[in-house]
Chain A
Amino acid sequence: MSAAELSVAEREVWRLLATVPDPEIPVLSIVDLGIVRYVRSAADGRLHVGITPTYSGCPATAAIRSATRAALDDAGHRDALLEEVLSPPWTSDWVTPAGRAKLEAFGIAPPAAAAAGPASQPVRCPRCGSLSTERISEFGSTPCKAHYVCSACREPFDHFKCI
């Protein structure tokens, strides 16, 4: 395969992975989530796809792995290698701008910059846009979310944790 063909294949796989949903927040794809670390054609002539887990114990990791494998197989990339990448560790900063917009539209406040430190910025209510919100719990329904309530519209909502 020539280099040009390979990069076409790489682009095609990126597009394909952008259709694999996160099982717990299905509006997000695994590309939106920033967990696809690379798609590259290696010297062995095979495509290597690197995926990193969000949290060490996230139960979605296994589901994401098999959904990704199935998507690759169905698209004819049966010889593509799926690799688990631990380093550098995933950060919520890798959630793409498109992913952030989708989260907010879905009712989940997107993460602030992790570098700024936890809870350093006010969290905006994804429903009414108020900055007058309050944290109920550091934790929520999945490892990646915390629980908030809006003081303006009184609606509870999830906030994507910043790590």
Chain B
Amino acid sequence: MSTPAAVPARRDRALNDALFRYLLRLADTSLVLGQRLGEWIGHAPALEEDLGLANLALDLIGQARLLLTYAAEIEGQGRDEDALAFLRDAPEFLNLTLAEQPNGDFAHTIVRQWLIDAWQLELYEGLAGSADTRLAAIAAKALKETRYHYRFSSGWLVRLGDGTAESRARAQQAVDSLWRFTEELFTADEIDQRMAAAGIAPPLGAAAERFGARVAEDLTQATLTRPPQQPHPWHGKRGVHTEHLGHLLAEMQHLQRTYPGVRW
């Protein structure tokens, strides 16, 4: 199927390269989180949640495909979505460090999901108005799905936090352990700044405030406590990852690496 051309005006090389990396950050965060959620299939606490997590994964991988396809076109080196997903090594992945964190227990998975859903909500809302029409179209589509995801994850956060002593303790433990990865979400570097200056991405400052307010409100409703902000030594979006990503990629990429070019 051909895609109606949304050929961007000739961009200067540096802006093009920044856009490529920016698209990879969005795509890789969705792809890696989707892969993590897939690990739950057949293992979730109840059949309905098993289906739920798999459905989230499906949407996220679909978003990643749209973004990777666009990234490959922007790069213009003849790579496609599959080459980008299956033939890059960990340092070339630019996902948020939070996305690659292991599933842990169900509370851990829900807290990770809720944080990324709340982040994607702010980001996709801004990106839906992007000066880049192709990215705006992908974001507008992803936004609808993200709203649905957030409803699911924030609902579970409240149910677990304001639940039994056991579920509350586990939810708080997950918040405490994952909070240190949130600093990265809204710390703008030169790529974020360049994207914002070009009107391609929303400025991260305002998004961070809305994210903070939303997350604080959810935590209150869930009777959970927000841990203090911590400095972040993790730079997933710059390709510096925790050890967990390598293991995830080993599983995700094994088939393509062993049988290059294999198809169904």
Contact = CB atoms under 8 A, between A and B. Distances in A.
Contacts of A57: 57-63, 65
A81 B3 CA distance: 10
B1 A86 contact: no
Interface string A41-61: 000000000010101111100
A87 B140 contact: yes
A56 B137 contact: no
Given A86-B66, A139-B48, A163 B60 contact: no
Interface stretch (A14-22, A101-109, A140-148): A140-148
A129 to B, nearest CB: 25
A84 B63 contact: no
B59 A83 contact: no
A152 B150 CA distance: 30
A26 interface: no
Interface stretch (B7-15, B81-89, B141-149): B141-149
Interface string B82-118: 0000000000000000000000000000000000000
Nearest to A145: B55
Contacts of A143: 55, 58-59
Contacts of A132: none
Contacts of A91: 144
Given A55-B59, A141-B51, A163 B140 contact: no
| Interface class of chain B by DSSP | helix
Residue with the greatest number of chain B CB neighbours at <10 A, chosen from A90, A118, A138, A141: A138
B52 interface: yes
Interface residues of A, number: 30
B17 interface: no
B210 to A, nearest CB: 19
B80 interface: no
Given A81-B2, A83-B2, A139-B51, A56 B145 contact: yes
A91 B133 CA distance: 19
Contact of B1 (A82, A88, A137): A82
B151 A59 contact: no
Contacts of A153: none
B49 interface: yes
Contacts of B61: 57
A115 to B, nearest CB: 12
A86 B138 contact: yes
Contacts of B65: 56-57
A118 B151 contact: yes
Interface string B42-55: 00000011011011
B127 to A, nearest CB: 12
A13 B17 CA distance: 42
Nearest to B141: A89
Given A136-B48, A139-B48, A139-B55, A55 B1 contact: no
A118 B152 CA distance: 12
A27 interface: no
Nearest to A144: B55
B228 interface: no
Given A55-B59, A89-B140, 4 more contacts: A88-B140, A89-B141, A139-B52, A139-B55
18 contacts: A55-B62, A56-B145, A57-B63, A57-B65, A81-B2, A82-B2, A83-B4, A86-B66, A87-B137, A88-B140, A118-B147, A118-B151, A136-B48, A137-B48, A137-B49, A138-B155, A161-B148, A163-B148
Interface of A: 51, 53, 55-59, 65, 81-91, 118, 136-141, 143, 147, 161, 163
